[in-house]
Chains A and B, each alone.
Chain A
Amino acid sequence: MERSAQKNAVVNLLAMLAVGVAGYAAARHANCLSGQVTSFYMGLGLLVAIISWFQLRLAEREQLEKLEFEELTRTRIGPSLFETGEAELFPARRAREQFERYFVPGFTVVLFVLEAGGAYMLNAWLSKVPPTPMRQPTMAMAFFGLFALVLFLLGKFSATLARLENNALLRPSASFVLLGAYLTFAVGAAIAAGQAGFPRTDFYIARALCILLGVIAAETLIALILEIYRPRVKGQVTRPVYESRLIGLLAQPEGLVTTAAQALDYQFGFKVSETWFYKFLEKAFAKLLLLQLAVLWLSTCVVFVEPGQEALLERFGKPVPGRQVLGPGGHLKFPWPIDRAYLQRTEQVQSFTVGMALEKEKDLPKTVLWTISHGKEDNFIVAGRGLQQAAVTPAERTNAAAPKRSPPVSLLAVNIPVQFQITDLLAWAYSNAAPAKVLENIATREITRYLSSVDLGAVMAHGRWDAAQVLRERIQAAADSRGLGVKVLFVGLDGVHPPVQVAPHYEKVVGAIQQKQAKILAAHADAIKTNALADARGFRLLNEAEAYRLKRELNALAQAALFTNQVPAWKAAPSVYTERKYLETFVRAVSGARKYILLVSNTEDVVQFDLQDKIRPDLLDLTVPQSR
């Protein structure tokens, strides 16, 4: 039996090697991600199978050695022959023990590193790898189906063999072979899903396999740690530390079912696993599974087209006459792969943006300014129309044969959304491999062409709406000429502005216009003030003159009247009158003046007066109040 186990281990090993290499080649050829990840599993399985086979060989040698020893014991000649040490007596056992003590843990560490590193590297690779359409998927699917079948048969046989006594060491490779069968089946299913219109299934399965690999790595690490603290009992048969329980569970899920049945029995207190329902389920499981698959296949006879969508119906790759395009609703068709339906959004408005790649709407500030970058700018060349006309000399203008001057160019950052709708699904689907990309290129080309000869100021301001209309018409015409089968619904000049580096200067121009207006308004205010003050002053001058005139007239009249009245008095006493008037006037006139009165007889005396004003008055300078 051991010989048979060894042979089976070698077959497992070779199967793993063959499927690993062939699977990798097929997966690479077909651009199948899950297939490539699965081939990594096969590689790990190959390593496990090698170690498992080697350990089996050691166990078998030990068994032979034991038999030989028992034989010798029965026919021994003398005691001296066996007086040597145990290590010398049982070299095969010692070799197995040494192998299990040192090599197996070492290998398990390597296995853990490979699993963890593989999970990390494959995950990183999957994140970077671009979505690539599959090549010859049918062939790849057939191969992986074949691999699944071969591995399943082989794995089932190995698993049954491993349940026998002394064949436990076959279990790790048997589990890996069965797991390989399921994984290759999953790869085939992923390829089929891709063909059925779910191309990302392959990627998701590949990603799931990476996660599973990570979990297996974690399990290996835990097993390693527990192995350190595991109590060693002499003679106890131990499970190889590199054998994954998780893989065993995945490879032989019926073990899980048995465990679950036992748990149910324990919980309910009676043999649930012996009830008719459980037994029926156990017997009919395969049939139910097949029925499920049949229903799944038959479900491909119906296609539901959602509102806003249309479907292309092909029979053996040819559009079905009279039913080439299916509208919204449910439709019957032959099952896959005879009939295939390809859904497309036709009524729905689709859009793309030419130019700036704006940040997400939620990341945009409430106020979007030219001076603040709000996305990756994409500058378009614009001819500087005003500058070009200014640069042309009169001689160049009149001479048609003169070489054309290179136009001064400006740059414009644009963000132009284009909305379209598919109007002819057959044209859209069958004329171009990537019609959406062609439409985007056409739109970008038309925008580049239009902007290269447009007036910068006009397209940014008053000509914006007209520009949008012209662009829409041009893109529509170009799309029609390429037979895209679309209607261009809307072209919007959402964002058309100078690049961020130049935008502040545009705002400064507006600032300068405002400054100009402010200066003019300030000057008007000044003018109003100047004129108003001048008016007031003129008015005052006139009033003063009028007052002066009136004063002069009245004063003259009053003085004349006074004089007339003074004459009789004067005539009556000329000297007295004059003396009196003089003294009266003198009193009034000198009352406020500082007076020095010199009482000197000698007129030759020199009298000095300090007439300078005092800065600080003293007490003596106090004004004496007038006596009443």
Chain B
Amino acid sequence: MKRNPLSITVGVLLLVIFCLLLFTFQVRQSEVGVVTTFGKPTRTISQPGPYLKWPWPIQKVYKFDQRIQNFEDDRFDEVLTADNFNLLAMVYMGWRINDPMAFFTKFANGSITEAEKALRSLIRTAKSAVIGRHPLSDLVSASEAEAKFTQIESEILQIVQSQVAANNYGIEIEFVGFKKLGLPESVTTEVFNRMQSERQVLISKFQNEGEAEAAKIKSTAERKAAELLASAEAEATRIRGLGEAEAAKSLATFQQHPELANFMFRLSALEASLKERTTLIFDQRTPPFDLLGAMQTNQLQK
């Protein structure tokens, strides 16, 4: 029976690969490993490199990322501050595995999800407890020097660290930080209303300032106009008076023959007074209509 050498080579190669896959494993620089024998953790691998193991199901390798894990509580929790202010707070934390064996046994064969579930409860409790001890002004303050943002984070970190250490979770908490602060929806609406009112104050201020300023400008202008007119009228009166004074000088001429002068003045007055629409009723004695009465034809028949 002739054997194909290529088939044998490929078969052996595949067998070698399969054996390598079953008997060896690698741990990366960023990883730590736990080897279990028949389910019991027997070896911790903390250095990177290639390692031997018995094939499954005798030994099984669990590898964990030993770098800092970023955990973010995706829930925006409503908490109450010491001065009874409802606040939404979201935090994040950095944690790492410092004892792979303890981590493996505590969290369902080293489930990151399980670990984060436990951390989620811890961080939420710590967050609510610490914020509840501080007034809102410690988080939100007009003066940065008065705010205790970092201090509150440190307090949360201490609580979580002490809990993690006490329970020997096999992990350590590196940092905790506030990712986001917010307000509940109903409060947000009221804040919007207040912000609108603030703007309304400014709107009213500017509008009324405009009115007032305009009124002042107009009033000043009117006063100036009145002053100007008053001065002009006074000057006009003075000028008229000069005219009157000059005119009065000619009265001496008239006074030489007052009878004629007065007669002439009356005539002028008569002429001037009859310039407008006038109805005159004369009888026949008024000259020159007396001529009418003297005419024969106009005399009444007796």
Same complex for A and B? Answer: yes
Q: CB of B28 within 8 A of chain A?
A: yes
Contact A596 B279 (CB under 8 A): yes
Write out the residue numbers on chain A whose beta carbons fall within 8 Å of the beta carbon of B137. Answer: 404-407
Contact B289 A597 (CB under 8 A): yes
A149, A520, A539, A600, most chain B CB atoms within 10 A:
A520
Distance from A594 Cβ to chain B, minimum over Cβ atoms (Å)? 4
A-B contact pairs, 25 of them (CB 8 A): A139-B56, A142-B18, A145-B17, A318-B48, A379-B182, A380-B181, A381-B140, A406-B83, A406-B135, A406-B136, A433-B65, A437-B70, A448-B180, A482-B68, A516-B213, A523-B218, A542-B239, A545-B237, A549-B239, A551-B243, A563-B264, A585-B267, A595-B280, A597-B284, A598-B283
Q: CB of B40 within 8 A of chain A?
A: no
Number of A-B contacts (CB under 8 A): 375
**Contacting chain B: which of A228-236, A274-282, A358-366, A530-538?**
A530-538
Interface string of B239-276 (1 = CB under 8 A from A): 11011101111110110110011011001101101110
A522 to B237, CA, bound (A): 35
Q: CB of A271 within 8 A of chain B?
A: no
A434 to B92, CA, bound (A): 13
A238 to B196, CA, bound (A): 82
Closest to B207 in A: A512
Q: CB of A552 within 8 A of chain B?
A: yes
Q: Which of B50, B246, B270, B284 is A589 in contact with, Cβ under 8 Å? A: B270
Q: CB of A1 within 8 A of chain B?
A: no
Contact B178 A586 (CB under 8 A): no
A139 to B20, CA, bound (A): 11
Write out the residue numbers on chain A whose beta carbons fall within 8 Å of the beta carbon of B233. Answer: 538, 541
Write out the residue numbers on chain A whose beta carbons fall within 8 Å of the beta carbon of B178. Answer: 445, 448-449
Contact A528 B195 (CB under 8 A): no
Interface string of B35-79 (1 = CB under 8 A from A): 000000000000011100000100011110101111010000000
Contact B213 A453 (CB under 8 A): no
A519 to B210, CA, bound (A): 6
Write out the residue numbers on chain B whose beta carbons fall within 8 Å of the beta carbon of A409. Answer: 136, 140, 183, 191
Q: CB of B231 within 8 A of chain A?
A: yes
Q: CB of A198 within 8 A of chain B?
A: no
Known: A441-B179, A512-B202, A560-B253. A316 touches B48 (CB 8 A): yes
Q: CB of B166 within 8 A of chain A?
A: no
Write out the residue numbers on chain B whose beta carbons fall within 8 Å of the beta carbon of A453. Answer: 140-144, 147
**Contacting chain B: which of A214-222, A242-250, A327-335, A385-393?**
A385-393
Closest to A411 in B: B191
Known: A512-B202, A538-B228. A482 touches B210 (CB 8 A): no
Contact B142 A383 (CB under 8 A): yes
Write out the residue numbers on chain A whose beta carbons fall within 8 Å of the beta carbon of B147. Answer: 449, 452-453
Write out the residue numbers on chain B whose beta carbons fall within 8 Å of the beta carbon of A482. Answer: 68, 94, 175
Contact B31 A317 (CB under 8 A): yes
A431 to B29, CA, bound (A): 10
Contact B293 A599 (CB under 8 A): yes
Q: CB of A323 within 8 A of chain B?
A: no
Q: CB of A287 within 8 A of chain B?
A: yes
A337 to B221, CA, bound (A): 94
Contact B18 A581 (CB under 8 A): no
Contact A381 B183 (CB under 8 A): yes
Known: A433-B69, A445-B178, A502-B196. A556 touches B140 (CB 8 A): no
Interfacial residues of chain A within 405-437, with CB under 8 A of chain B in the complex? 405-411, 429-434, 437
Write out the residue numbers on chain A whose beta carbons fall within 8 Å of the beta carbon of B205. Answer: 512
A181 to B257, CA, bound (A): 154
A138 to B63, CA, bound (A): 12
Distance from A254 Cβ to chain B, minimum over Cβ atoms (Å)? 17
Distance from B137 Cβ to chain A, minimum over Cβ atoms (Å)? 5
A138 to B213, CA, bound (A): 83
Closest to A613 in B: B277
Q: Which of A405, A434, A545 is B239 in contact with, Cβ under 8 Å? A: A545
Interfacial residues of chain B within 92-138, with CB under 8 A of chain A in the complex? 92, 94, 135-137
A405 to B10, CA, bound (A): 80
Q: CB of A164 within 8 A of chain B?
A: no
Write out the residue numbers on chain B whose beta carbons fall within 8 Å of the beta carbon of A600. Answer: 283-284
Q: Which residues of B come within 8 Å of A, CB atoms?
A: 6, 10, 14, 17-18, 21-22, 25-31, 48-50, 56, 60-63, 65, 67-70, 72, 81, 83, 85, 92, 94, 135-137, 139-144, 146-147, 149, 175, 177-183, 188, 191-192, 194-196, 198-200, 202-207, 209-211, 213-218, 220-222, 224-226, 228-229, 231-233, 235-240, 242-244, 246-251, 253-254, 256-257, 260-261, 263-264, 267-268, 270-271, 273-275, 277-284, 287-289, 292-293, 298, 300
B135, B281, B293, most chain A CB atoms within 10 A:
B281
Distance from B250 Cβ to chain A, minimum over Cβ atoms (Å)? 4
A520 to B229, CA, bound (A): 25
Q: CB of A43 within 8 A of chain B?
A: no
A556 to B22, CA, bound (A): 141
Closest to B83 in A: A406
Contact A530 B70 (CB under 8 A): no
Closest to B187 in A: A409
Q: CB of A564 within 8 A of chain B?
A: yes
Write out the residue numbers on chain B whose beta carbons fall within 8 Å of the beta carbon of A537. Answer: 228-229, 232
Interfacial residues of chain A within 566-599, with CB under 8 A of chain B in the complex? 566-567, 570, 578-579, 581-583, 585-586, 588-590, 592-599
Distance from A238 Cβ to chain B, minimum over Cβ atoms (Å)? 38
B48, B260, B261, most chain A CB atoms within 10 A:
B260
Interfacial residues of chain A within 543-561, with CB under 8 A of chain B in the complex? 544-546, 548-553, 555-557, 559-560
Write out the residue numbers on chain A whose beta carbons fall within 8 Å of the beta carbon of B277. Answer: 592-594
A383 to B178, CA, bound (A): 17
Distance from A338 Cβ to chain B, minimum over Cβ atoms (Å)? 9
Known: A381-B182, A410-B195. A557 touches B250 (CB 8 A): yes
Q: CB of A498 within 8 A of chain B?
A: yes
Known: A383-B142, A570-B257. A595 touches B228 (CB 8 A): no
Write out the residue numbers on chain B whose beta carbons fall within 8 Å of the beta carbon of A429. Answer: 30
Contact A318 B49 (CB under 8 A): yes
Q: Which of B25, B85, B181, B256 is A448 in contact with, Cβ under 8 Å? A: B181
A136 to B292, CA, bound (A): 149
Q: CB of A63 within 8 A of chain B?
A: no
Contact B206 A513 (CB under 8 A): yes
Write out the residue numbers on chain A whose beta carbons fall within 8 Å of the beta carbon of B261. Answer: 563
Closest to B9 in A: A290
Write out the residue numbers on chain B whose beta carbons fall within 8 Å of the beta carbon of A445. Answer: 92, 177-179
A530 to B224, CA, bound (A): 9
Write out the residue numbers on chain B whose beta carbons fall within 8 Å of the beta carbon of A583. Answer: 287-288
Distance from A620 Cβ to chain B, minimum over Cβ atoms (Å)? 15
Known: A383-B142, A453-B143, A538-B232. A411 touches B225 (CB 8 A): no
Knowing that A556-B247, A567-B256, A594-B280 touch, tell me 11 more A-B residue pairs with CB under 8 angstroms.
Answer: A145-B21, A317-B48, A380-B181, A384-B198, A411-B192, A512-B202, A526-B217, A530-B224, A538-B229, A578-B260, A579-B287
Closest to A562 in B: B264
Q: Which of B65, B191, B243, B263 is A578 in contact with, Cβ under 8 Å? A: B263
Known: A316-B48, A317-B31, A515-B210. A549 touches B242 (CB 8 A): yes
Q: Which of A505, A526, A564 is B203 in contact with, Cβ under 8 Å? A: A505
Interface string of A584-628 (1 = CB under 8 A from B): 011011101111111111000000010100000000000000000
A316, A538, A548, most chain B CB atoms within 10 A:
A538
Closest 5 CB pairs of A and B: A538-B232, A549-B243, A527-B221, A516-B210, A534-B225
Write out the residue numbers on chain B whose beta carbons fall within 8 Å of the beta carbon of A314. Answer: 28-29, 48
Write out the residue numbers on chain B whose beta carbons fall within 8 Å of the beta carbon of A582. Answer: 267, 287
Q: Which of B264, B271, B289 is A588 in contact with, Cβ under 8 Å? A: B271
Write out the residue numbers on chain A whose beta carbons fall within 8 Å of the beta carbon of B181. Answer: 380-381, 448, 452
Known: A441-B92, A442-B177, A542-B236. A389 touches B29 (CB 8 A): no
Distance from A624 Cβ to chain B, minimum over Cβ atoms (Å)? 16
Q: CB of A118 within 8 A of chain B?
A: no
Contact B250 A556 (CB under 8 A): yes
